[in-house]
Amino acid sequence: MPQTGNIISGLVKDPGGRPVPLARVYFTKSPVPLPDIAALTNDNGEFSLSVPVAGTYKIACAAEGFESTVTEVTVKSGKMAKIQIRMKK
């Protein structure tokens, strides 16, 4: 059974600090196999992804007009991990 409460919450911003809506956010590395689905950021550039186990993950973000980024994040059991992704042109 997956552990509950393991959530990665994030915010995607452009170089000027403005939110990036409809950016695609997906895992590229995880301690266990994950569904091959990608999240889209909302109008505020926000997203939240759940993971089944604590551990270290890599999250990629892609959006038109920006270089793709990869961010490493460590999730502790039952905790929410927050990240901010700053896209580059």
Binding site for another protein (CB under 8 A): 2, 4-7, 22, 24-40, 42, 47-48, 50, 52, 58, 60, 62, 64, 68, 70
Q: Between the CA of residue 45 and those of 20, 32, 53, 61, what are the distances in Å?
A: 5, 27, 25, 11
Q: Which is nearer to another protein, 12 or 47 (CB)?
A: 47
Q: State the minimum distance, in angstroms, from the CB of residue 17 to another protein.
A: 22
Q: How far is the CB of 57 from another protein (least distance, A)?
A: 9
Give dist(CA 59, CA 26) in Å, integer. 6
Alpha-carbon span 78 to 75, nearest angstrom: 8
CB of 84 to another protein, least distance (A): 19
Give the pair of three-digit tokens for residue 15.
């170089």
